[in-house]
Structure 1
């Protein structure tokens, strides 16, 4: 099993900049060429979802925080659009993402504890 890892500061900054550029570009396209009612929010949620999926497949712990953000924003957006069934679906996704965060965070802490114990044993502590 591949270990869970965390983003470094540099990776987080790069991800944020990529997210901002992708959201702005996608939002512009939606605003200009479609009849999207909230194009920039829609683009931000879609871009954040792509980034979260990439981090999930890379087993990065912070992916769950991005999914939680996606789900909270989606519940609000779909409720605003009076698409209550879809908003409810994203509320369910929110509960799943919160559970994923808790489970992965526990596993990450266990991995770190085990790794520290191995390191201590190697140096003879």
Structure 2
């Protein structure tokens, strides 16, 4: 059983394995803070994604590297967006996606998939089944991260879809610890949606007043 899950690490350098574990732990912490609507989601996530950018570049997993680079950039935006206030009132609280934001989300998804397809073709990376799945998951995660930065509750739906697909995907890529991470991500994302929904419902009467 141990060999089934971890035999792929036999060819990895020890420091890369340690880095992956650190990135996994910080990633889990980041999702937990997101569930709590805590600003610490961003610094923990940024360190995690930087580590992954390095590892994925080293392992030539371009689609995943692009995702994590994007996470880092959007974390900077999200950090700024979440801290904006008018006096003591948060300027952008948890809310529901608007019609215009739905259009933007669709555009982000289509553009991202097209971009990743172009990158994979350029580097001749469409040589495994998971390369094709990557294009779909990357689009899903780009939308999820944008919606989270905008503090839209629907971000959790996209995270859940992407996380579920990523569990077998990362195991197939030989990143067992990261695969386990996405199991935790899925569970936390479900609770995150429920917690944000509760916060949103409790704030609606105050908004109507």
TM-score range, shorter chain: 0.7 to 0.9
Count of equivalent residues: 117
TM-score by length of 2: 0.50
Contact 2:141 2:159 in 1 (8 A): yes
1:21 matched to 2:111? The reply is yes
Over the aligned positions, Cα root-mean-square deviation in angstroms equals 2.1
Q: Which residue of the other structure, out of 29, 35, 42, is the alignment partner of 2:134? A: 42
Query: How far has the Cα of 1:83 moved from its partner?
Result: 4.2
Contact 1:26 1:40 in 2 (8 A): no
Unaligned runs of 5+ in 2: 1-89
Contact 1:78 1:84 in 2 (8 A): yes
The CA deviation string for residues 35-85 of structure 1, in whole angstroms up to 9 with x for no partner, is: 352323213322322322221121111111111111011013224446443
Q: Identify the residue that residue 96 of structure 2 maps to in structure 1.
A: 6
Unaligned runs of 5+ in 1: 119-125
Give SS of 2:94's match. coil
Q: Distance in 2 between matches of 1:102 and 1:114?
A: 20
TM-score by length of 1: 0.78
Query: How far has the Cα of 1:90 moved from its partner?
Result: 0.4
